[in-house]
Amino acid sequence: MATVGTRWRTGVAVLSATVLAALGVAPQAQAADTPPSIVVQDGVTQPVFGYADAIRERLFIDSTFDSDNDGLRDIIAFDLMRPAATAQGLKAPVVMDASPYYSTVCRGNESECKADLDGDGLLDKWPLFYDNYFVPRGYAVILLDMVGTNNSTGCPTTNANQDNLSAKQAINWLNGRATARNAAGEIVKADWHNGKTGMIGKSYDGSLAMATAVTGVKGLTTVVPISGPTEYYDYVRSNGVITRGNSYVSSLANTVTNPERRDYCKPVRDAIGVADGDEHGDYTSFWNERSYVKKVPNVTASVLLYHGLNDDNVRPDHFSKFWYALAENNVPRKLWLSQEGHVDPFDSRRAVWVSTLHRWFDFWLQGVANGIMDEPRVDLERSADVWETHADWPIPGKADTEVFLQPGTTGAGGLGLVPTAKPATGAFQDSRTQSQNTMILNPDVVQPNRLAFLSEPLSAPLHISGTPTVQLRASADQTDTNLGAILVDYGTDERVAHRASGEGIITLTTEDCWGQSSPTDDGCYKQTAKRVATADYELVTKGIMDAQNRQSIRVAVPLVPGESYNFSFPLLPEDYVFKPGHRIGVIIVASYPQYSSQADTTAANLQVALKSSNIVLPVVGGTAAAHAAGL
């Protein structure tokens, strides 16, 4: 440590002066006995600390759990980088990305893995830009290996308690409630820590951030979940329908396990496969520990939430349910919604995202009064690179508006704000092989395996914001069937091509840099551009359910053939504007193979009572706006 301290005194002081001069800030004289501190200009911390000479450590914590049932508590490993100035008294907060991916799938658009290039047990290559950018600004960065991955012991459990509690071990250590050791077995204390930690991460990493937040652990000050699952049931199921089957949960555990440990961890995966309920798709106790929404009342951290509205991997109902719960519990929060799929904001709106993230962490972790919480709560991408801000989401002024299914004389049925005057029935037969394109295309043509309903061309824009719901009165001639619904915008327009390769972005060959570099690690990443395409229609949102789960996702109750029931199920949340001249389409199907992994086998014939069936749209402006649009 003496050597590190000397390096800081001789190196960072010069760097500080150079950087501050470049910024037009005069370096402040500092007494020899005054500890170093951050420098703030224009409401943000400045890069006045070194990166190449930052302190790098790999530490190990005995956890509170035993995921592999070997009689020993699992050891959680993490890599830590902090400014050399922390050895001279700088108190630094932590930015942490807990992940299962650091040695397998790896991180970011360029799939960066952790790398110890010289074999000294310390990282030389750190994935992502957080270390390059934030360490010079007075932060420490932790990249934590989730239980059973990379340098941590145990076995992954796919968002069960052992996964969920992995990062909590490090936060407890940072705040003096746990013991960490280095590779030599020496106890290491976080006496440089300022008591505040922020967690960030995309996808699985984002779920780990939320999982840690809902424990209410003291010292976790803010979380930035990016496209992360919040209800693991919803990741592999939807209203009783299996969307990812064939032991997907255990397969994911296998994917993130280091290859040399996969045989060892097979008993843990086998136990997951037995308990996951692939044979029925109902909600069981297996999913309780993989549920974060119901635990939001425990959250004491602020939340900056990001999600792609067209994410078909971690679908948008994950952000919406969590967001609704945050609002109910008055958690300080902000939200970004993009038009892309499963894409990191660093690769969709890079400069603005880095600036926002910088200000967010400065406010919550460094105590910088920069006004970020006084700004609009929501940033929303309306079209490619066209962003709006709003006071909240759903957009204030939205009202749930019933739009009824109307019979048609030929071809498609209609849509209207009042139910049909006379009883009418729509009939179709389930097809387990019907493609999504067949469901959507040619809506004016009668087809045997769907019902299609079209509005007249709109006379004014119609903006929906929130979670639509389909309400059907229907019967089937079998004891079981699935139900599906699709909301479609029929109208030619240029849109983000989120279903194409890249999920809405194109990776370019040019790079830009975010932060400082060392000889083995730079903060430079390939730039991206939006991928757009012109099409005659857009699948706006969709939803499915198992008719046997009409009362509860916990209990399946068979249908009585020929008996009519009320079925109600949500579509995925959306924020979408139907333009004038476009037509709104509602497609009703039974099996939906491109949404579910196990289509129903009954080939049921269904009858829908149109007078009692509708779609409830969250229309901004409510019924008046729907009338104005010509519904």
Q: What mean pLDDT is predicted for residues 193-201?
A: 98
Task: State whether 347 and 430 are in the same domain.
Answer: no
pLDDT for the residue 6: 25
Does 19 fall in a domain? no
Task: State whether 286 and 226 are in the same domain.
Answer: yes
Residue 592: closest CA among 405, 430, 469, 426: 430
Stretch among 22-31, 66-75, 319-328 having the lowest mean pLDDT: 22-31
Summarised one tens digit per residue, pLDDT across range 51-97 is 999 999 999 999 999 999 999 999 999 999 999 999 999 999 999 99
The share of the chain scoring above pLDDT 70, in percent, equals: 95
Q: What mean pLDDT is predicted for residues 525-538?
A: 98
pLDDT for the residue 599: 76
Residue in 79, 145, 163, 311 annotated catalytic: 311
Does 569 fall in a domain? yes
Residue 114: closest CA among 102, 99, 130: 102
Task: State whether 413 and 270 are in the same domain.
Answer: no
Asked whether the predicted pLDDT for residue 1 surpasses 60, the reply is no
Q: Which of 390, 408, 436 is the last residue of a domain?
A: 390
Task: State whether 574 and 461 are in the same domain.
Answer: yes
Helix axes 204-213, 166-174, angle to 10 degrees: 60
Task: Give me the residue label for tokens 């209800």.
Answer: 231
Summarised one tens digit per residue, pLDDT across range 473-523 is 999 999 999 999 999 999 999 999 999 999 999 999 999 999 999 999 999
Does 352 fall in a domain? yes
Which comes out higher in pLDDT, residue 614 or 596?
614
Task: State whether 506 and 480 are in the same domain.
Answer: yes
Does 454 fall in a domain? yes
Does 595 fall in a domain? yes
Rounded CA gap, 467 and 541, in Å?
9
Paired with 576 in beta bridges are 464
Summarised one tens digit per residue, pLDDT across range 370-413 is 999 999 999 999 999 999 999 999 999 999 999 999 998 778 99
Amino acid at 45: T
Q: Which of 321, 355, 390 is the last residue of a domain?
A: 390
Alpha-carbon distance values, 159 to 156, 204, 239, 252, 614 (Å) = 8, 8, 20, 10, 37
Residue in 193, 307, 318, 342 annotated catalytic: 342
Q: Which of 340, 357, 390 is the last residue of a domain?
A: 390
The CATH number assigned to the domain holding 326 equals: 3.40.50.1820
pLDDT for the residue 17: 41
Does 3 fall in a domain? no
Task: State whether 142 and 88 are in the same domain.
Answer: yes
**Is residue 342 annotated as part of the catalytic site, yes or no?**
yes
Residue 471: closest CA among 402, 540, 557: 402
Q: Domain span at residue 623? A: 398-629
Q: What mean pLDDT is predicted for residues 604-621?
A: 98
pLDDT for the residue 31: 53
8 A C-beta contact, residue 629 and residue 458: yes
Rounded CA gap, 52 and 484, in Å?
55
Task: State whether 500 and 363 are in the same domain.
Answer: no
How many helices (H) does the chain have, and how many strands (E)? 13, 31
- The 3-state secondary structure of 302-332 reads EEEEEEECCCCCCCCHHHHHHHHHHHHCCCC
pLDDT for the residue 22: 43
Summarised one tens digit per residue, pLDDT across range 125-166 is 999 999 999 999 999 999 999 999 999 999 999 999 999 999
pLDDT band at 10 (very low <50, low <70, confident <90, very high): very low
In eight-state DSSP terms, residue 227 is: S
Stretch among 28-32, 113-117, 388-392 having the lowest mean pLDDT: 28-32
CA dihedral sign, ordered 118, 123, 126, 131: negative
Does 14 fall in a domain? no
Amino acid at 277: G
The CATH number assigned to the domain holding 530 equals: 2.60.120.260
Torsion-angle region of 243 (φ positive above 0: left; ψ -120 to 50: alpha; else: beta):
alpha
The share of the chain scoring above pLDDT 90, in percent, equals: 92
8 A C-beta contact, residue 452 and residue 408: no
pLDDT band at 30 (very low <50, low <70, confident <90, very high): low
Give the mean pLDDT of the chain.
Answer: 94
Task: State whether 237 and 253 are in the same domain.
Answer: yes
- What angle is formed at CA 236 by the lines to CA 231 and CA 240, rounded to 5 degrees? 90
Total domains in the fold of the chain: 2
pLDDT band at 214 (very low <50, low <70, confident <90, very high): very high
Q: What mean pLDDT is predicted for residues 162-189?
A: 97
Task: State whether 297 and 444 are in the same domain.
Answer: no
**Is residue 521 annotated as part of the catalytic site, yes or no?**
no
Q: What is the pTM of this model?
A: 0.93
Q: Which helix (H) or strand (E) holds 242?
A: strand 241-242
Task: State whether 422 and 283 are in the same domain.
Answer: no
Does 10 fall in a domain? no
**Is residue 203 annotated as part of the catalytic site, yes or no?**
yes
Q: What mean pLDDT is predicted for residues 466-470?
A: 98
pLDDT for the residue 9: 26
| Residue-level length of the chain | 631
Residue in 16, 166, 203, 238 annotated catalytic: 203
Summarised one tens digit per residue, pLDDT across range 332-369 is 999 999 999 999 999 999 999 999 999 999 999 999 99
Q: What mean pLDDT is predicted for residues 536-546?
A: 98
Task: State whether 494 and 512 are in the same domain.
Answer: yes
Q: What mean pLDDT is predicted for residues 615-627?
A: 98
pLDDT band at 118 (very low <50, low <70, confident <90, very high): very high
Task: Give me the residue label for tokens 């789960």.
Answer: 549
CA atoms within 13 A on the CB side of 162: 24
Task: State whether 451 and 364 are in the same domain.
Answer: no
